Structures are given as C-alpha cells and as structure tokens.
Structure 1
Amino acid sequence: MRTVGVEEELLLVDPRTGEPLALSAAVMSAASREGNGKDGPAAGALESELKCEQVEFATRPVLGMGELAEEIVRWRAEAARHAADAGGALAALATSPLPVTPSTMPGERYGWVSRQFGLTAREQLTCGCHVHVSVASDDEGVGVLDRIRPWLPVLTALSANSPFWQGQDSEYAGYRSRVWNRLPSAGPTELFGSAENYHRQVRDMIATGVLRDTGMIYFDARLSATYPTVEIRVADVCLEPGTPVLLAALCRALVETAARERRAGRPPAPVGVGMLRLAAWRAARSGLDGPLLDPRDMSPAAPEAVLDVLVEHVRDALDDHGDLDLVREGLAHLLAHGNGARIQRRLLRTTGDLGAMVAECARLTVARTL
C-alpha cells in the first residue's frame, strides 16, 4: 500500500478580531524550545512559510487514514497551543476573510521571491493543503501526473475554503487558487510522457531565470524534489480536520488508479491545458454549490454527479485500501453540511461579523470530531 502524508498551511489570527497576526517567528521559537530534549513530535514538523501570518506542518508518511487523522488533529492542536501562548489563534482558512497587508518572513529566499514577483508575492497570503503519495520511481510518478490531470479540479471543488478576500465576498468558493495561479509556474501542465521530459522541462524553466529553483515549480501536481512522492497541490487548506483525511484517501486512490492504468498500457486522456484551466476555474467558482466539469468529457454537470464519477473511477483502489466507506461517508457529509466555503458563509449570516466568524472557524480548526 502506498504511504500518504499531508502538509497544511494555517492562518495565525487575533482570537478577538479575526485579523491575521505576524506571529510565525514566535510560534516557531516556542515549538523549537519545547522540542529540544523531549520525546514526542519533532519540532521540525512545524515550519514557517512565505508570510509571517501563517505556519505550516507536515505529517509523517502513514499507511492508514486513522493514523493520518490522528496526525492532523495532533499537529493542529500543537500549532494552536503555541499560537495561543503568543497571543493568537490558529484558523484553517485558505485566505483571510478580513483585510490584511501581510508581511514577508525574513531570509534570502523569501526576499528573492518578493523582489521577483512584486505585488503578486506581497499579496500572497494563501493557505493550501498538499498531499504526498509515494511512487516507485520518477517514471511511475510522471505516468501518474499525466493521468490524474483531469481529476484535480474536483479536489479543488470539494476542499474549497476561501470565499472571502480582503474583507469582501469574492463570489468564489475557492478564491485561493485564483490568487495562487498568478505565479508564473502555477497551474495545470501538458502531458510529459516520460520522466526525462519532465526533468528537462523543469531544468529549462529554471534556466530562464524567472524561477530560482525546483521549489518554485508550482504545478498543480509535481514530483516532490525531496521525497519519492507525487505531490498534489490543488486543494485549499480544509476547515474541519476530517476533510483533509478524505482528500488524502482520494489522492492516494487517484495515484494508485493512474499507476495501474500505466502498467496496463492505457494512455492518458489528451485533454489540453486550456480545457484544464477552465475546469479549474469552474471548480474554484462553484465549489460544491454549482456545476463542475465532468473529467471524462469536460461537460458541465452537477457536483453530486461529478463526485459519483470520481468515486467510480477510483473505486477499486479505494476498496483495496479499505477507504471506500470512509470516502462515501466523507463526501455525503460535505454535500449535506458543506465544505469550508459554505460553512464560512453560513457562519457570517449567523454572526453578522467577519471577526466572529473567524473565531468560530478557529474553534472548528482544532475540533477533534472527524
């Protein structure tokens, strides 16, 4: 069975006003001090990110979704505890609902990003969820990348958790992806065909000088530069801790299904990048509250129908992993109760105040119910 791991980026906010706070350095310092000489989770699993108003954690690679759920709950709680000690709170929101002028973390690399990308980098306070799934080789990994492309917008839709931007309703369910895709290497990719072609394109992109290194290859899905994994990067960070577990189960099933298709000699679907961009836009706009594009033929369809198509596509892998019931139940919960975008809008109608809404989202971030 393939291992799976999750990286989550999370907002640091004022627990009273909901405004983002530049507390990353304080949180990282506290985590580092506590980790020295103690058993238990390594301090290195909490990391800083581009902006001082966010923090990131990475789970261990695990086999079971129950293990992954425990990791996510534990690391969210750890980060929230350190945020509280610094006078803040942790919120699993993919964009800040309140207006913010974010500050960039110090360091040579972050400074380079700010100089190179200008306003795009200065505004880039967004929080994603990245899922790593193990692959046997770069050749298998690229075969997977070529075959999962049409399915990735569905993951954007189910994870959508960024309806607000700079104090306004964006009218999108997942506006984070629209902000993220301003970066020059972000978005869907053409078919690579082989690991050799993949690595050649990466080298050619870096050689232009537009990008600094392989860490700035921001494809929707890529070969990890650090681990023997495919890294799927299209999802918003999810509000409730059960949703990234659902997302990880689907990602692993997509990878396994694609790998089996490759071994069977089935070619990837020849969908163009232009059509993939339309599917990604549609997913960000609609979330689970409007039409999506069916990955099989890119025709518009109801979200419930598209989710059924996704489950059917990966059913054998889900069944083999023991994840089929978990995925069915998780998707039924999302359709009935809403993803993060729907919950945020519902909370705003209830509270009438963005700050109060963020405070409630901070509570949901560390809820232990999965």
Structure 2
Amino acid sequence: MGVEEEFHLVDLETRAAVPRVPEVLGELQGLDGEAFAAELKPSIIETNSRPTADLADLRTDLVRLRGMLAQIAEQRGLGVVGAGSVPLIDGSAQGITPSPRYERMRDEYQMLAFEQQICGTQVHVDVPDRDAAITVMQHSAAWLPVLLALSASSPFWQSEDTGYASSRTLAWHRWPTAGPPAPLRDAADYDALIGSLLASGTMSDPGMVYFDMRPSAHQDTVEVRICDASPSVDGVVLIAGLARALVRHGVRAHLAGRPAPQHRPELLRAASWRAARSGLEGDLVHVDGPELVPPSRAVRLMLEHLADDLDDAGDRAVVEELALEALARGSSAARQRQRANRNGNLEAVVDMLVAETRGAPDSPVDAPVSATVAPVLLAGYAPPAYDEAVSEDHTVRPAYSWLVSTLERIGPSGLLVHEKSRDAEQRARGMFFPQEDDAERLFPLDLVPRLITPHEWSTLSEGLVQRARTCEALLQDLHGERACLHDGVLPEAALRWLPQPHEAAMNLHPGAVRALVSGLDVVCDAEGAWKVLEDNLRIPSGIGYAMADRRVVRSVLPELQAPGGVLDADEGPALLREALLACAPPAAGNEPVLAVVTEGPADSAYYEHQVLAEEMGVPLLTPSELRAAAGMITIAATGRPLDVVYRRIDEEVLFTAPDASGVPLGDPIQEAVRTGRLTLANAPGNGLVDDKAVYPFIAALTEYYFGEKASLAAVPTWSCADPDQCAYVLEHLDELVLKPVDGFGGQGIVIGQHASEQDLEKAAAEVRAHPAGFVAQETVQISTHPTFTGAVLEPRVVDLRAFVVLAPTPTVLPTPLTRVAPPDSLVVNSSRGGGSKDTWILR
C-alpha cells in the first residue's frame, strides 16, 4: 500500500493559502525526486509515500515526508496544512499550475477547476488484477462514507463556515465523473465506461475518473479517493489500514466468486452526503439498513465487517485503537469550529492546523500489539460512604464485576466516543429537558448503568406497593370520613388544608382511584439499606425518561450485556396503559378512549409526554385540543368522547385553560368526572398527601389502615408544625436537611452541613415565621455509584424513583429512574443540575 497526501501552503503571517508551490517543489524534488508533485492549484503540493506492507513503516515514511516539506516551507515563511480546505485563501491563489493538462481542464470545466482549492488523501492498495479491482469497488462502496466521516476536515470555505464537516466533498462531487463507484461487472465493463465517457466529451483523459474508489490509471492498485486530507498522521494511518482491509475483503470475495451487494447509487450518494454533512458529530447512513446510526455504531459495524481481514493483515489491534481515538477526539472539522469559536477568528484555526500537521506524537502504531493496559477507570476511586459497586476494601462488589471489567475494556477514550454517540442519539430522539437558559438541554444521562439485584427488587417492590396503598387509603379517607384525624393518627396540623365540598377533589365518581400512578423516591443509606425519601402523587415524571435511557444505552453500548439479562423497561408503558384503562369510568364502553393531556412544549417534561403517548398508542393533547360538549370531554378534531385522561399537567393549569371553543375547562371536566363520564388520572387534590408534612406519619398510617408494619423504613423526619419538634429542628439546623412541605424539584432545600451561617440564619427565620411550612430530615449518608466524568469513574450520590400503579393489580413498573447528583451535592433533581442512569433490574 501507499498514500498520496495533498497539502496547502499558507503564509505564516496572513495565514492564507498562497501559490508558492513552485518555490519549494524544485528543492524538494532534489531531495526525493518521486515523493513530491505539483497539483492543479499552485498552492497545493502532493507527497507520495513509498510502497509498504506495514502500517508502522507507512507512518514513519509519512512523518519523514511531512518533516521535509515543513522544513523547506518554514524557511520561506510558509506553513503546511493537511486539511480538506484551508479557511483563508489569498486572491493570487485562484489561478492554476501551468501545464497543458491543467490548462485544458481549466478551459473545459471553468468554475469546477477554479474552486479546487481542496486537498484529499488517496490510498493505493495492490490487487491481483483489474477484474479483482472492480469486485473490490463493488464490495467496498457501502463503507466508503465511513472513511469520509473519519477524515472530515473542511468546514470552512473562503472565510465562511459551510455548515458541512467536509465541504471538500461538495466541491469534488461537482465533477461529472465523481461520486460512488459505478455498478460494474468487470474490467472490460469499466474500460467500456471509460471509452463512453471520453467519447461523450465528459472527461478529457482516463485519469479524470474521479470515483470515490477506482482502479489506478497507471498502477496495479485500487485507489481510495473519498477522504479529506488529514492534519493527523495517525488519521491517515487509520484510513490506510481500513482501506487495505476493504481491499482484502473484496479480493477474497472475488476469488470465492461471491456476488457483489446491490446498492442503489442514489443511496450511496446520500450516504456520502450525510458523512460530509455530519462528520463524526452526527448520525451516518448504514446502507445495509438502510438506517441512520451514531458514528460510533457505524465505525463499530465496519470494524466487525472487516475483523478477519484486519486480523490477516496483522492490523486489527492498531486500527481498532486508532478508530477509538479518532471517535473520542472527534472530527478535525469539529475541532476547527471549536477553535474558531473560542478565539473568534480563523487565523487561530490555521495556526492549529499547521501545528497538527507538523507534529507527529507517539502513536499506538509504534507500540507492541500485545501491550496490555492497566485498569484506569477506578484509579483513585474513593466513595465517602456506602458505594453500590465498590466495597470498603476497594474491591468491586460481585454483582458489578462483569460490568466494571467491560467498562475497563472499553476504556476512557472509548467511553468518550460513546458519549458523543449518546448525545447524537438523544438529539435524534429529541430527548431534551429544557431549562430557562438552555431550550435544547439534553436530558443528562451517564452511560454506566445501575444494577439492582433480584432480591433487592423483590424487597423494594413489596415495600413500595405497601406505601402506595397507604397513600391511596389516606387520600380516600381525607376526602371521606377523615377517620385518621378523628382517631388522632394524623394531626390536622400536618395538613395545609382540608378538602371542601365544592372542590374538584371531592367530586370523583364512587370507586375512583385517586393516586393511580405514584412516584416514590427511595435511597440506599450508609448500611446499604433502602429508605423512602419522598412520595410524589400528583403528576410524577420519569417513566418515559427511564425507558429512553435504556434505549440510548443499548444503542450506543451494545457490548454491555448483563450475564443473566435484565427486566424489559419497554413493558412499562403497556402496564401503564393497562392501569389507566382499568380505571375507566362506569359510562365507558368496552373500548375506553384514553389520551395524555399536556401543557405542551413549554413543559420541561414534554419529551416524556410524547414518548408515553406514542408507546401507549394514544393521542397527546393540549387543553386547546379538547372540547366540552354535552357533559363530556371530547377530542376536538374528531368529536370522540374521552373516557380516561392521563393528566400530565397541573390541575390548576388544566382547569383554567380554555378548550377549542374558548370555554374554560374547569367546570365541564369536574362535571364529567362527578357524573362518571370521565376519569382523571391522577385525581386533583393529591398534593394533600404528598406534602412533606404528612411524610412522618405514613408508617403509622400503614399500621392503622392495614394492620401491617411498614416494610420500607423512612428517613427520620421532624414536623415543624409541632412546637417541640420545631424547637429540635432550630437547635440542630446545621445537621439536618430542611425542606418546604410543598416544595418540588429540589427547590427551597437547605442542607445544613453545606449551608453558610447566613443561609442558616435566613432558614431559621423562615421556620419561625411559618413553622407548618417546613419539615426537617436527618442527613442520610446516601449511597454513591460510579459515574463517568470524562477520564475516570467517580462516586456520585444517587436515588431511585420507582413507579407504582394501583390497578388492575398493584404493580411496580419495571422502569425506575435513577437520578444522579452533581459533584459534592445531595440534590439529584434534573432542574438542579442532576443527571440520570439506566437502571438494570437483574433477572
């Protein structure tokens, strides 16, 4: 194999491409006559490596040629840039290199010749004969766009950002004979095509067949031509290794007589366009799907496809490591944009490209293939208390041994690659959790999954169902007889209000379930025991995000496979739908009509609303898409009455919103609910019980209603509504966690251990002014979990939001959401900088 590299010459003062190749070419040819050549543009020079069968030798020769070129150029105040395009171009560089061939091309092709201020990398690989070369082209065509994505380095053209990772591809593909290889049978078919193109006047000589891969016009090789020039030597070596593997694969197919895959030329061209558009920062077209896949997946598919050929050449270890490094680093196009944005000018981009082209740091090509890498991800891992994956003696817990081993094999650079794919996958899915300052904030997701053993899940499920049933019994009681108040089990002071007859919450039809879906937050303490932290009974969110987390992790990290399998998170929406339909009102027919009602895109959890509606196969509606008619609530577009509304909108917003006719929805909805024509899930008024002031009494209420001891412990909690407890809280405020009883999303929380004296004084004043508005909890040493931070795994505090549905049978959905706190924080809420993890319930 051998490589032709093209380079721009730039003036080191102006940083613009300049037509000064003639000044340096003569001296370079005197040093190595066959290694350097002029190109169409007098600002572009070509180097030609020596033929070799070894990637390490190839790299050595590329470094040699780059060094010679850079040294001669620097003596004249010039820099050398290996990139598909150079951002700045001197006006004098618009001409062409004097030569009869180039002048003929200029006269014939005009603009196409003028705009060829572009550089590529071509790889030549030996083939047995020209028939084999044609077979190689056919078998390689679908994979060539991946090579383009790996090499994309031309985002700028004439001082402007083109919006493409490889603008060179756009310019190159304007030539009438450029693009994916034509579907050909053999060398005779190829020669006939050349004859036809020459006869048509489309090209002026056989060397102008500019397919992305072609038989060489003057050597017994196949030539890969699709790639941008690269500032990195290792980038070129990676392309060369993959190109040789493609050729070996095609030659084997030729010798075995295997038929070539059939791909539509339009799809191959579309795949090249997508690679030019995205580089390594967006999805690529997997032609065999066809489907869009993250770049890490596309590269992995290519490596799997060529595994045997890479092994036969002895290149597999080197190529795989170079590929992971390339994915972790991102495309040159992305780095150029980052430098331009950071420095505010394109001169800085040129400086970076000159430095990268001149430099040649150590490479895995030079390392022994058998070298092993010591574990690094858990280096320095020091959890402050109980960690779910790493024990006190710093050994990995048995349940996590396979996971940590797999992550170590992937390594930091590999995980960085997968994080890029994660971001692309989330953007493709629209998986956003917008904030005021960032409307397109991705829902934070750490790729290291959390594991829950079967025994833990069994214990949790029993306790969670019991707690959800207690909360439901309390809601029914408070909206009915209020026996718990009369018997003194729950003090009335713990309630911020008592329901009144005119309120919507008092007018449900008989038998209605009030808290059909509850989200219960649990944590592991310093002893590894589960405790309930909070109850969420209004419109708890997270089911859709938990399910989406699973899909993203499985998509970008398919190599993670639990030995015994995990519960299927995709079952969650089906169970949720079953629960909602089981609560249809008496007037519903045999096929109740269900809808998800949302405030719309303004809601930060709107993505989840979309996912759940889609997965359950029901409409997603805003209040303006409803209509109140004849005592019913209907879908405005169809007039079809709704039987069950899964409410993902605050009740106050829903009741004050106008329907499609401008009629406020409050009275019509309440009437439809009261008369048994509509079920609202969850019911209005559930905030009465998930206020934190009620939390300390749930265990006693479990025994009161069911005669059972609470099987899940609760975090010790003090109600400031009680004078004695309030006095204790004020005395120990620096040791406790103070929470507003009606707070959500982590708002208003004061963590005494982390609060300043000023914050504590302010909090104490608020408690004294309104004691019933606060509770305080013991500061629990919450468990931590390994979380990838870009280089290593670090411990981060985690909690678990589990979802319980109470119909048709009380069930914990297999879609719990693990939430992750930021560094040095106990607050896991996404609105406060927290993230999430995929939660694997082991079988």
Which TM bucket (shorter chain)?
Answer: over 0.9
Greater share of residues in helix: 1
Q: How far apart, in 2, do the equivalents of 1:193 and 1:70 lie? A: 38
Q: Which amino acid aligns with 1:23?
A: R
The match for 1:335 among 317, 321, 327 is: 327
Q: How far apart, in 1, do the equivalents of 2:287 and 2:303 lie? A: 12
The match for 2:22 among 22, 25, 45 is: 25
2:224 match: secondary structure:
strand
Asked whether 1:8 is paired with 2:5, we answer yes
The structure showing larger relative contact order (alpha-carbon pairs under 8 Å, at least 6 residues apart) is 1
1:300 match: secondary structure:
strand
Q: Where does residue 84 of structure 1 map in the other structure? A: 74
Q: How far apart, in 2, do the equivalents of 1:317 and 1:124 lie? A: 35
After superposing the two structures, state which structure 1 stretch, 205-214 or 152-161, moved more.
Answer: 205-214
Asked whether 1:149 is paired with 2:146, we answer no
Q: Where does residue 112 of structure 1 map in the other structure? A: 104
- Aligned-pair distance for 1:264? 2.3
Asked whether 1:182 is paired with 2:179, we answer no
Q: Which amino acid aligns with 1:20?
A: A
Q: Where does residue 316 of structure 2 map in the other structure? A: 324
Q: Is the 8 A contact 2:85 2:119 kept in 1?
A: yes
1:9 match: secondary structure:
strand
Q: Where does residue 365 of structure 1 map in the other structure? A: 357
- Aligned-pair distance for 1:360? 1.9
Structure 1: which 5+ residue stretches go unaligned?
36-41
Q: Where does residue 38 of structure 1 map in the other structure? A: none
Q: Where does residue 133 of structure 1 map in the other structure? A: 125
> What are the superposed Cα offsets for residues 307-340 of structure 1, whole Å, 9 maximum, x if unpaired?
1100000000101111111111111111111221
2:80 match: secondary structure:
strand
Q: How far apart, in 2, do the equivalents of 1:31 and 1:303 lie? A: 39
Distance 1:48 1:99, change over 3 A: closer
Q: Which amino acid aligns with 1:287?
A: G
Q: Where does residue 509 of structure 2 map in the other structure? A: none
1:43 match: secondary structure:
coil
Q: Is the 8 A contact 2:232 2:360 kept in 1?
A: no
Q: Is the 8 A contact 1:91 1:361 kept in 2?
A: yes
Q: Where does residue 707 of structure 2 map in the other structure? A: none
Q: How far apart, in 2, do the equivalents of 1:135 and 1:189 lie? A: 17
Q: How far apart, in 2, do the equivalents of 1:229 and 1:256 lie? A: 12
Q: Is the 8 A contact 1:133 1:252 kept in 2?
A: yes
Q: Is the 8 A contact 2:181 2:214 kept in 1?
A: no
Q: Is the 8 A contact 1:93 1:161 kept in 2?
A: yes
Q: Is the 8 A contact 1:17 1:356 kept in 2?
A: no
Identity across aligned pairs (percent)?
36
Where in structure 2 are the equivalents of 1:1-370 lying within 5 Å?
Answer: 4-32=1-29, 34-35=30-31, 42-101=32-91, 102-369=94-361, 370=363
Q: Which amino acid aligns with 1:22?
A: P
Distance 1:100 1:181, change over 3 A: farther
> What are the superposed Cα offsets for residues 14-68 of structure 1, whole Å, 9 maximum, x if unpaired?
1122100111101112213x43xxxxxx222110000011100010110000000
Q: Which amino acid aligns with 1:362?
A: V
- Aligned-pair distance for 1:248? 0.2
After superposing the two structures, state which structure 1 stretch, 206-215 or 59-68, moved more.
Answer: 206-215
Q: How far apart, in 2, do the equivalents of 1:249 and 1:89 lie? A: 28
- Aligned-pair distance for 1:184? 0.9
Q: Which amino acid aligns with 2:14?
A: T
- Aligned-pair distance for 1:272? 1.3
> What are the superposed Cα offsets for residues 50-91 of structure 1, whole Å, 9 maximum, x if unpaired?
001110001011000000001111111111112122321101
Q: Where does residue 586 of structure 2 map in the other structure? A: none
> What are the superposed Cα offsets for residues 234-286 of structure 1, whole Å, 9 maximum, x if unpaired?
00001111100000000000110111122223211110111111000000001
Q: Is the 8 A contact 1:16 1:356 kept in 2?
A: no
Greater share of residues in strand: 2
Q: Where does residue 39 of structure 1 map in the other structure? A: none
- Aligned-pair distance for 1:100? 4.4
Q: Which amino acid aligns with 1:289?
A: E
Q: Is the 8 A contact 1:53 1:103 kept in 2?
A: no
Q: Which amino acid aligns with 1:18?
A: R
- Aligned-pair distance for 1:347? 1.9
Q: How far apart, in 2, do the equivalents of 1:228 and 1:9 lie? A: 22
Q: Where does residue 401 of structure 2 map in the other structure? A: none
Q: Which amino acid aligns with 2:83?
A: L
Q: How far apart, in 2, do the equivalents of 1:356 and 1:363 lie? A: 11
- Aligned-pair distance for 1:98? 1.7
Q: How far apart, in 1, do the equivalents of 2:76 and 2:90 lie? A: 19
Q: Is the 8 A contact 1:162 1:341 kept in 2?
A: yes
Q: Which amino acid aligns with 2:272?
A: A
1:225 match: secondary structure:
coil
Q: Which amino acid aligns with 2:228?
A: D
Q: Which amino acid aligns with 1:360?
A: M
Q: Which amino acid aligns with 2:255?
A: R
Distance 1:25 1:314, change over 3 A: same
Q: How far apart, in 2, do the equivalents of 1:358 and 1:43 lie? A: 29
Q: Which amino acid aligns with 1:120?
A: L
Q: Is the 8 A contact 2:177 2:208 kept in 1?
A: yes
Q: How far apart, in 2, do the equivalents of 1:324 and 1:84 lie? A: 37
2:34 match: secondary structure:
helix
After superposing the two structures, state which structure 1 stretch, 262-271 or 304-313, moved more.
Answer: 262-271
Q: Which amino acid aligns with 2:127?
A: V
After superposing the two structures, state which structure 1 stretch, 314-323 or 294-303, moved more.
Answer: 294-303
Q: Is the 8 A contact 1:49 1:55 kept in 2?
A: yes
After superposing the two structures, state which structure 1 stretch, 153-162 or 13-22, moved more.
Answer: 13-22
- Aligned-pair distance for 1:296? 2.0
How many residues were matched structurally?
Answer: 360
Q: Where does residue 465 of structure 2 map in the other structure? A: none
Greater Rg by CA: 2
Q: How far apart, in 2, do the equivalents of 1:213 and 1:114 lie? A: 14
> What are the superposed Cα offsets for residues 94-136 of structure 1, whole Å, 9 maximum, x if unpaired?
1121244422001111111110111121111110000001000
Q: How far apart, in 1, do the equivalents of 2:176 and 2:25 lie? A: 30
